[in-house]
Amino acid sequence: MDASRTGWYVRHWAYNLRVDSEGETSDLPLFQQDSSFILHVDSFYPGYYALESINHVSHYARMRDDGSLWVEPDDYYTSAYADAASFQFYAYSMLRMYQLFLLRD
């Protein structure tokens, strides 16, 4: 959930990640699936995390070359895929619940 807006969640829509309001959806069960992820520890690299989509098994949140975030299948696993789908939690911020930094080449 967005730390500054109750009821707003990160979800995938057409595989792109975006923040949407749960209150504005016409299909709540789909919204809930699209905004649910499994946090994996050490999936691709020791000490790094990855987010797998609940709605699309073996699809991980990753950064695209243009800097946007989306979910993509790990069918064609490469080191570039693992790099873009891996992140660490660095520091606690009073402004946000977490600060995420994605591992980039």
SS3 (DSSP) at 54: coil
What pLDDT does 74 receive? 86
The answer on pLDDT for 91 being more than 70 is no
Q: Which CATH class is domain 8-102?
A: mainly beta
Rounded to whole angstroms, how far apart are CA atoms 28 and 99? Answer: 28
For the chain, give the percent of residues with pLDDT over 70: 86
Q: DSSP assignment, residue 24?
A: G
The candidate with the shortest Cα–Cα distance to 49, out of 64, 39, 62, is: 39
The answer on pLDDT for 96 being more than 80 is no
Tokens 């950064």, residue located: 63
Six token digits for residue 29: 């069960």
What pLDDT does 11 receive? 94
What pLDDT does 75 receive? 81
Q: What is the pLDDT of residues 32-80, one digit of tens each?
A: 999 999 999 998 999 999 999 999 999 999 988 888 899 999 887 899 9
SS3 (DSSP) at 41: strand
In this prediction the pTM is: 0.78
Rounded to whole angstroms, how far apart are CA atoms 47 and 90? Answer: 11
Rounded to whole angstroms, how far apart are CA atoms 90 and 79? Answer: 22
